[in-house]
Structure 1
């Protein structure tokens, strides 16, 4: 079995006992060719790198994606944004409330639909996104550093296709 499909890890009992991982690789079996499994591993790695890069800023990947998307789509309706980013409506409401309380976004109820909420960044929100964008772009370049430019292009094309974008 190739090294790409095997890894040294601690069993649950070893981890609970604080023991070191057992020597030797483990087999992933059908997970070796599981899209969801590999996407999950890639997401966990990307999020760990994001948290390390933005730890001092208190930003989380989901929250920062909300701010970026509002910047790119001023006046976007909260429900539409939640659907686009695959964030549960209740969780989006908490994110929006927190950003509103922090003075980063403005919420407006449009006259044509009193149930909807339109979101825009405040000046403080604009400044925050602009200030963190260089670090974010550096993080993004580093997250795919193992790929050639052509591989990165292919990966993003395929992910956009899978996501219906």
Structure 2
């Protein structure tokens, strides 16, 4: 038995927020073990992936959809720009907006790493959740998180 398993969690074991956080940490550990060598965090890749599907999306809309604070989104976009992964453009009709698009290097990065990003958990899920359980959990999390379209 794992030493930390001896710690009595009390009501924490029934807390949805606590369970979600512990699950998130587990997923992130798996992500970094599988994809850490690419120097990107899950949220960062999510932004690039959305831009691959939504060229010329407004920076604010991407931030809102992913629930990223404006200041943090600005830092991330600057980082992507410095790495040559995205292009920023201010449209003539709204000087306050910033449109984002992947560069060819950004498109190649997403294309080269999407399979790993979306598939890393398959091996980690083995033995923990059946395919049906994973589908059910994802459906419930999407519903709870307001992600159902």
* 1:9-158 → structure 2 map (5 Å cutoff): 9=4, 25-145=6-126, 146-158=128-140
What is the match of residue 8 of structure 1?
3
TM-score by length of 1: 0.82
Larger RCO: Structure 1 or Structure 2 (Cα < 8 Å, ≥ 6 residues apart)?
A: 2
More helix by share: 2
Q: Compute the RMSD of aligned alpha carbons.
A: 1.6
Gaps of 5+ in 2: none
TM-score by length of 2: 0.90
Larger Rg: 1
Gaps of 5+ in 1: 10-23
Q: Is the 8 A contact 2:30 2:121 kept in 1?
A: no
What is the match of residue 15 of structure 1?
none
C-alpha distance in 2, partners of 1:151/1:112? 48
